[in-house]
Amino acid sequence: MNLYIKALVSVPFVIFSISIFADNSANNFFDQQYFSANFTQTSQKDNDQRASKGRLIVSRNGYFKLDYFEPFRETIASDSIDLYRYDPDLEQLEIHPLEDLIQESPISLLSLSRLDLNKIMNLEECFELKDKVACEISFVNEDYFINNMHLVFKDKKLKELTYEDSFLQTVSFSFKNQSTDLLSKQDFLFEVPEETDVISYKNN
């Protein structure tokens, strides 16, 4: 699969540290039910760097949709039950059971409830960097495939999400045009042409 799922859908708050309650930026972020933004994703290892752009919408009931615009088009979405990966160039749709996948990806920061986040990760500390607030995330499962995750907020909005994956790549998401406005289930739907080749990995 790709973001893990494309890197972003590439995370136990066993307990929130006191820092999250002391900092309004992080506190507000984990209480927000909806989040949408344009993003630029970069992956770097040694001298090799790759970048892609897209748009993300997500809710804390498990729904999300990522539309990649460049350099390649792709849609990755979830209805809280299954994961859908649609490649319009290949005219192919893959359907995977979501199961525990969402808890093992950075998208969980946005799509899991605060109660569920408490079970899988810890917010270690937040500190100010000029006009920004940076927060460090750690994971209860030491075998987790991502490490050194940091969130950066500005004006109480999530601006950056950065981590290191199991391939020692540094993956970073930069967000713009963020919104926490209400989203409906209709917002998460996407059109799939009738001639699309559908591949299902669900157990029948």
**Domain of residue 25, CATH code:** 2.50.20.10
Report percent pLDDT > 90 for the chain. Answer: 42
Give me the pLDDT at residue 129, please.
81
Q: Is residue 165 part of a domain?
A: yes
Judge whether residue 87 has pLDDT over 80: yes
Q: 41 is written with which tokens? A: 């994703």
Closest CA to 36 of 171, 177, 162, 157: 177
Q: Is residue 10 part of a domain?
A: no
Give me the pLDDT at residue 28, please.
83
Closest CA to 15 of 120, 103, 100: 120
Reported as type and span, the H/E element at residue 110 is helix 108-111
**pLDDT, average across residues 49-75:** 94
Q: Is residue 9 part of a domain?
A: no
Judge whether residue 58 has pLDDT over 90: yes
Give me the pLDDT at residue 100, please.
57
* Range of the structural domain that residue 135 is part of: 18-200
Which amino acid is present at 84? Y
**pLDDT, average across residues 184-191:** 90
